Each structure stands twice: as C-alpha cells, then as structure tokens.
Amino acid sequence: MIKINPYLNFNGNCLEAFEFYKSVFGGEFPYLSRYKDMPADPDHPLPKEFEDRIMHMSLIIEPGNVLMGADVVEIFGQKPAAFNGNVELMVNAANKAELDAIWAKLSAGATVNMPPEEAFWGDYFGALTDKFGVKWMLICPVHPEQN
C-alpha cells in the first residue's frame, strides 16, 4: 500500500516548528540531521551560518503518519520556503473531543480561517494557518458511532 507523508520546508526554523508539532501531536523524532553532518565538499563549502540548520528530520506521530521537514539552504539552489496556500494538511480526528484538544494546541499563535463547527456536509470541521505559516484542516465525524 502506498503511503504519502507531508514534507515541510522552512527558512531556518524547522526544529522550532517540529518541537511545536511534537507538543501538539506527540510522537518521536527518530531522525534529525543538520547540514554540518554532511560530508565536506571543498568545491562547495558550507557557510558557518547554515551548519546548524536542519537537513532532514521526521516526526512519527503514529505508525504510518510521519511528518518530515528541513530548512532550505539557498546555496544549494533551493528557493526560500513559502507557504502560499497551495497545500493544506488534513488531520482526521476520531471525535470532537480529540479534534478540540488538537485545535487548542495547534491554534496557539495561529490565524483561524474557520473555527471548529458542524459543517453543512455533516462533519465537525475547522481550518487555521499556524504560527509557522502552515495551513491545517481538522475534521471528524459529528456522530462517530454511526460510521
């Protein structure tokens, strides 16, 4: 079975964002590497200011749900990260209590696009842009016992 996991790019604050996401969702960081961990390339030396930026990290929220990310480094031809609304992350909660608990943490410093409420299609739904600029949608059935 194919699994798709989101990979988020940041401009120097990946670790801060992932520590925040860990406080929201729980989970573990099984892997974290910094640009200074790469083998040195004398033809492309790494400037000191990029050494501690995150080259790759992952947050296993639960088996099958992995959030991954990195800090972009423009010297490698990467463009600055921009959260322009093209992608939103959907969190499927089991019930309203779980959704509300996640919302309470994830909404700290966020811009609320739609507070959680029963939507016209019958689910409990809310949307926000977190303090790092990442867009999230949270959803759960209003009556989970009927699913």
The answer to the question of residue 83 being in a domain is no
Q: How many CB atoms lie within 10 A of CB 134?
A: 21
Give the confidence band of 112 by pLDDT, cuts at 50, 70, 90: very high
Which structural domain, as residue segments, surrounds residue 127? 88-146
The answer to the question of residue 2 being in a domain is no
Q: How many CB atoms lie within 10 A of CB 35?
A: 19
The answer to the question of residue 81 being in a domain is no
Pair 11, 70 in one domain: yes
Pair 98, 70 in one domain: no
Give the confidence band of 144 by pLDDT, cuts at 50, 70, 90: low
Pair 11, 37 in one domain: yes
**Is a pLDDT exceeding 80 seen at residue 76?**
no
Domain boundary among 33, 56, 76: 76
Give the confidence band of 47 by pLDDT, cuts at 50, 70, 90: confident
The answer to the question of residue 128 being in a domain is yes
The answer to the question of residue 133 being in a domain is yes
| CB 55, CB 38: distance < 8 Å | yes
| CB 79, CB 101: distance < 8 Å | no
Number of domains in the chain: 2
Q: What is the Cα–Cα distance from 103 to 97, expressed in whole angstroms?
A: 10
User: Do the bridges between strand 135-141 and strand 88-92 make them parallel or antiparallel, or are there none, so unpaired?
Assistant: parallel
Question: Residue 19 sits in a domain of what CATH number?
Answer: 3.10.180.10
The answer to the question of residue 33 being in a domain is yes
- Dmax over CA atoms of the chain, in Å, equals 62
Q: Which two tokens stand for residue 76?
A: 């490698």
